[in-house]
Structures are given as structure tokens and as C-alpha cells.
């Protein structure tokens, strides 16, 4: 039986690691896209932009973490909460929710790759 190849859409708050994760997954041979869902009121933007995506990953980070990662962010914690409100639908539908505050770039990538392996196993059954 032929198993579908994973195609990953990545959403999350600013500075949670979406772009970095997408690059790391693509380097590992997994098609992955970073989706700016946090800036959109379109509830399923990831599906509109990448209808072939069959795995939705949501990354999250606390305000303090986002400030450390991106000190140039010109807004306060209330804007981060607005992003989370815009991401509420994505969080409810995501296949993997992953807070990245206490994880290295490699740990995030490895956790998502491990999830993809589990996903492939369920696709075979």
C-alpha cells in the first residue's frame, strides 16, 4: 500500500520558530510551509495557501521568549494575545501543538520529525 507523503503546514505566533522549522524540515526532505496565519482573520488560511498540506503543526511561545528571540518586535503582549485569538481555530484543528520556549531549534525539528514518523505509521493502517 502506498502511503501519502507528509506535507506540513506550520502556523504559530511570531517568533515561535515557524520559518526555522520549515527550513529544517525541507532540509530533511519533508515538504513544509510556514503560514502567516497569525496575521490573518481567514480561519483556514493554511488550507487556502497549501491545500495539499496533510499535517498542521502549531508552534507557540510565551511573550518573554518572543522578545528574546526578536527584540525588534515593536508591539506588546496584547498583540501576542491577538495572534493567539486568530490562531484559535488552527490550534483546535492542529495535529501537533508544540510550545517552543524551552526547546532548541534541533529539538523542535526532532519532535516534529518523530511526529511525522508516527503519522506515517497511522497512514499505513
Task: Report, at the CATH architecture level, how domain 7-120 is classified.
Answer: 3-Layer(aba) Sandwich (3.40)
**The model's pTM:** 0.92
29: left (phi over 0), alpha (psi -120 to 50) or beta: left
pLDDT tens profile 24-81: 999 999 999 999 878 777 778 888 888 999 999 999 999 999 999 998 888 889 999 9
Domain map (residue ranges) of the chain: 7-120
CA atoms within 13 A on the CB side of 71: 1
pLDDT at 3 over 80: no
Strands (E) in 1-125, as ranges, are 7-12, 31-34, 55-60, 96-99
**57 φ/ψ angles, rounded to the nearest 5 degrees:** -110, 130
Task: Give the 3-state secondary structure of residue 31.
Answer: strand
Residue 1 is predicted with a pLDDT of: 58
Q: Is 111 strand, coil or helix?
A: helix
Task: Return the bridge partners of 33, or none.
Answer: 9
Integer CA distances (angstroms), 50 to 25, 78, 86, 88, 113, in order: 16, 29, 18, 19, 20
Amino acid at each position: 500500500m502506498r502511503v501519502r507523503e507528509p506535507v506540513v503546514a506550520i502556523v504559530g505566533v511570531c517568533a515561535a520558530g515557524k520559518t526555522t522549522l520549515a527550513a529544517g524540515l525541507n532540509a530533511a526532505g519533508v515538504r513544509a510551509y510556514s503560514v502567516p496565519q497569525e496575521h490573518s482573520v481567514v480561519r483556514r488560511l493554511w488550507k487556502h495557501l497549501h491545500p495539499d498540506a496533510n499535517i498542521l503543526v502549531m508552534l507557540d511561545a510565551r511573550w518573554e521568549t518572543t522578545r528574546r528571540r526578536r527584540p525588534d518586535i515593536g508591539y506588546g503582549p496584547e498583540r501576542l494575545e491577538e495572534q493567539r485569538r486568530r490562531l484559535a481555530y488552527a490550534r483546535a484543528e492542529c495535529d501537533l501543538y508544540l510550545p517552543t520556549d524551552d526547546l532548541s531549534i534541533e529539538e523542535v525539528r526532532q519532535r516534529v520529525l518523530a511526529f511525522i514518523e508516527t503519522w506515517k505509521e497511522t497512514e499505513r493502517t
